[in-house]
Structure 1
Amino acid sequence: MNNRKFFQQIRILDPLSGIDEVTNLFLDQGVITEIGDHNISDDGQIEVIDGTNLILAPALVDLYSRSGEPGYEERETLKSLMEASQDGGFSRLGILPNTNPVIDNPSMVTWIKEKTSHSNTKFYLWGGLTKDLEGVTIAELAQLAQAGVIGFTDNRPHHNLQLVRKLLEYAQPLNLPVALVPTNIQLRGNGVIRESSTSIRLGLVGNPEVAEAVGIASILEIVFLTKTPVHLMRISTARGVELIKQAKENNLPVTASVNWHHLLLNTETIASYNPNLRFEPPLGTEIDRLALIQSLKDNIIDAIAVDHTPYTYEEKTVAFAQTPTGAIGLELILPLLWENLVATGVLSPLELWRSLSVNPLKCLNQKPINLQIGQSAELVLFSPQQSWQVTSSQLKSLSSNTYWLDKEIKGKVVLIINN
């Protein structure tokens, strides 16, 4: 790959500085050396890239996704996860502890770090809050922190609020993010779809909005008591947005994220009974969807999570209520959010990029990627007009459990540059 690149008249997005303009950018040995409308003398060693209809912006960052390896390599390996992340424009990705064995001890952290030491994607590892993620015994949090985890999560709701209090008290001095799933298990019951007239019409057990509201409210009260910062995962309801807004107005140390599917789809889509539409929490109503989008514009919900969850065809091809929750998304999120939210004027390009690059790093207590002269390049080149068909052979992921399988979508990552 040529180490000297001149991007000519390309649209540059930088949410950190608020820049959205067409100009030139020069990379020399992976470092941004020039930005502006001046030209570069071509000595024959420079790769000139015509920026017409292309976008150059900071690479994307995913807060949390699942790896199949170790334990479920038929779903995804660390290698295929890296390839899918690169194909989707992600230079950094958080791996949830739901592997087999789970990431709840330093040896697992070390093993994965060694396995991915030469990866083009920087993997952040989430350590389990409790042993085996069972929500019973607190894991070796201090040792996990020393081993290099990015934060702690069980990636599941906790029914024992006394344990949640202890977890936040124990985690506080470690100064690492604690990510919690805000759901009241008793109220959720066996619900597989958001409780509404649609759930009744489709004959599926409903998961009421109040299950998330009570889950959020309970966690916020414990945060008020302990003052430990938390990250609320997978917010899915308008009521949830209201509660987080109030918490931030009261200066509680809270950040939040939303699964990207909840920004594009609603409960009505489930009428097809497509198993790739089964999520936890489930897709919301149209009111929920619009509230979630507005919350990103208002900085109430901080980040959009890919929450990439691969499953094999056999695992997903069962009745809707029995299918495991989740879908893949690393290679689809940017084109689909751009096509459906940015191209339609619902979100600005900078609002989308802020939610997919700057704010995820803030939620992880990491410095945002900087698109400034003198900085090492960590960039993605995106073609919003390029159409392609989502097929198993086109995807780098080993799994293809997505609602958009065999559909044509618009928008493709052309190149990712990570120095």
Structure 2
Amino acid sequence: MSDKSSEQSNQKPKKVEQIRGVRGMNDLLPAEAPLWAHLEHVLRDLTRAYGYDYLRTPIVEATAVFQRGIGEVTDIVEKEMYSFEDRLNGEQLTLRPEGTAALVRSVIENNLLYDGPKRLWYTGPMFRHERPQRGRYRQFHQFGIEALGFAGPDIDAEIILMGQRLWDELGLKGVRLEINSLGQANERAEHRAALVNYFEQHVDQLDEDSKRRLLSNPLRILDSKNPTMQELIESAPKLLDFLGTQSLAHFEAVQKLLKSNNIPCKINPRLVRGLDYYNLTVFEWITDELGAQGTIAGGGRYDPLIERMGGKAAPACGWAMGMERVLELMKVSESAPDAQAQCDIFVLHQGGDTLTTAMIVAERLRSAGIDTILFCPPDGQSSSFKSQMKKADASGAAYAVIIGSDELANNEAQLKDLRSSGAQQAIPLESILEAVIDALVGASE
């Protein structure tokens, strides 16, 4: 062997570099999955209770969907969207940053309002390039409800009632409702002129972000969190003072319906929401338990959006919530459900022919709708019943089915109570399914 070959053979293999996930785009690990499943289950029950149908849109949409739907001068469109050009055909595409504009695009394209109003809901991942922090991520998950084709204040109240019912079902505490009215376009135009005039007289007190918004979207200045500007913002002209008779009547009707259903709310004249498509009622649910990320859900009426997106004019309203924020609040409120058992039955064996029989038994149990884990040794070798029993206890199973060589020789299995008495009895293999069902039914009574 040459010196060069000898030198190469003595070299340590190069360590393979670990590839890490994208910052702000998180894995859902098994320990968190039951909490997500619980929230999703409650949301499905909620939408069914109010007669809302599910609609799913693609993760990728034409960039114009959000430019036109959300507004060119919003933070989302200006700074946060993941947009790119499809190198195969040159289309301008964007990872979905929110659900409403995409849902409206689908409603128009598929002519869903041809036979009357629709109550719809959606859920799924959204994408925004912003600084990751607690409850705020670059890939996050949203749940939203949208009621399209309804013009009256009753539907505004209904969707707010849905939100309150959700917090009650989840056991969340300290969630408060704030509402406002943005009126109609002509009323906002008058208010906008007064607002611009006011802020121009105090331009030296505006931060750079607010100066940029002064002529493009002055309403968003009211939503500034800059503490040095709060006194200035508090003295600014209030949109409620510019509302006409119809807008005020709509807003008062919403409040009356909420009051009649014992839903407390606070009128916040500075509440404007961050998207361009809102009119009339807007609202947010807020908590003090999550630090700076206090808004867990929000929405309102967006009557202009369907026509703006190219459809026939129709009223609409809805709201959306960040699921990660709600999950954080569930943890803080200690309203998360107890950990669920992984299975009903854990099947133990000694390998070889006992494994074959154990697998047959496990499949029979699963076919009967019984959640069953079959022990599989990590190293492929048989393990002692003692170590297997530790796995069975950790699984949360109510019972263990034990098939060893002695049991197999007698054509039977041991059925052991793992949760209460610890009792164990021999059951003929042909009767094991019936015995397991009887035991599980008895344990649930």
- TMscore range, shorter length: under 0.3
TM-score by length of structure 1 reads 0.25
Larger RCO: Structure 1 or Structure 2 (Cα < 8 Å, ≥ 6 residues apart)?
1
State which structure, 1 or 2, has the greater radius of gyration over its C-alpha atoms. Answer: 2
